[in-house]
Amino acid sequence: MANIVVVLLGNVVDLVQLMVEAALASPLSIIPILTGVVLFAVSFGLFGYLTIGGLTAGLTSPNTDHTQRR
């Protein structure tokens, strides 16, 4: 199991090195890479926000934030 973690971390390091090499190959190649990074970060953040909201929604009472109208 520990060997799998070491291999995965090694692959992540290799991926970062390859992305840096591709970005430095020409000035225009950095634009699609940065666009991909921004899209990934936004989607990951939104998914995390919705996940945390969904998990915490079950912990709150539905009547705590609403005033009762008569």
pLDDT, tens digit, 9 for 90 and up, residues 43-65: 999 999 999 999 888 787 666 55
Look at the block and give the residue holding tokens 């969904």.
54
Q: How does pLDDT run across 16-47, given as a tens digit for each residue?
A: 888 888 888 888 888 888 898 899 999 999 99
Residue 9 falls within a domain, yes or no?
Answer: yes
Say what the pTM is: 0.56
Look up the domain containing 29 and give its range: 4-60
Residue 26 falls within a domain, yes or no?
Answer: yes
Indicate the number of domains in the chain. Answer: 1
- Give the contacts of 29 (CB within 8 A, at least 6 positions apart): 22, 23
Look at the block and give the residue holding tokens 């912990």.
59
- How distant, in Å, are the alpha carbons of 13, 14, 32, 36, 54 from that of 23? 15, 14, 9, 12, 37
